[in-house]
């Protein structure tokens, strides 16, 4: 096993930055991390690989991401308005694949949300396809495999 520590550090820094943007609801900055053709995916079945032909919790192209953010920021959504803070931890970062134009990364995430005074926790396995750029990466694909996907979630008014 030969770990490219330099690359792991770079992707860890990027993923941590993305997580911080989302926890602090800096959604416009988050949108700019994406490749225009990128897909944000939260499957209902974590074994599924053909997302387009199955029902997902979210399957967002650029338009849907923009609308998702607009909804959360609009002030029109009662659930977004009363959403508490989220704190997410990213760890166990592993580079699965590396080519000149793509890095595939897997990591663990635990997101905590305080909802009407109750702590709700969402553990997930995350998969990123990142395109290296001059000053970091852009996201080509992000798949959030929630443990809850096998059972029942609470409703979600933030972005994983």
Long-range Cβ contact pairs of 33-37 (< 8 A, separation 24 or more): 33/137, 33/138, 33/139, 34/62, 34/65, 34/138, 34/139, 35/131, 35/138, 35/139, 35/140, 36/62, 37/61, 37/62, 37/140
Q: Is 80 in the site for another protein (CB under 8 A)?
A: yes
Q: Which of 58/107 has CB closer to another protein? A: 58
Please identify, among the stretches 7-15, 75-83, 88-96, 105-113, the one whose residues bind another protein according to the rule CB under 8 A.
75-83
DSSP state of 54: S
Only one residue has tokens 């926890």, namely: 23
- The only residue of 3, 116, 119, 133 in contact with another protein, by rule CB under 8 A: 116
Please identify, among the stretches 2-10, 12-20, 64-72, 98-106, the one whose residues bind another protein according to the rule CB under 8 A.
64-72
Q: Is 147 in the site for another protein (CB under 8 A)?
A: no
Contact residues for another protein (CB under 8 A)? 42, 44-45, 52-59, 64, 67-68, 70-71, 74, 76-80, 82, 116, 151-157
């Amino acid at each position: 096993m030969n770990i490219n520590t330099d690359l792991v550090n770079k992707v860890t820094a990027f993923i941590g930055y993305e997580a911080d943007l989302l926890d602090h609801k800096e959604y416009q900055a988050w949108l700019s991390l994406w490749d225009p053709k990128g897909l944000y995916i939260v499957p209902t079945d974590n074994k599924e690989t053909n997302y387009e032909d199955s029902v997902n919790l979210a399957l967002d192209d650029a338009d849907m991401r923009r609308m998702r953010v607009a909804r959360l920021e609009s002030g029109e959504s009662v659930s977004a308005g009363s959403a508490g803070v989220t704190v997410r931890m990213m760890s166990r970062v592993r580079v699965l694949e590396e080519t000149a134009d793509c890095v595939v990364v897997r990591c663990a995430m635990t997101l905590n949300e305080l909802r009407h005074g109750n702590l709700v926790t969402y553990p997930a396995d995350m998969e990123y396809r990142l395109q290296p750029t001059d000053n970091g990466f852009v996201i080509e694909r992000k798949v959030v495999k929630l443990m809850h996907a096998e059972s029942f979630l609470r409703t979600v008014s933030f972005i994983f």
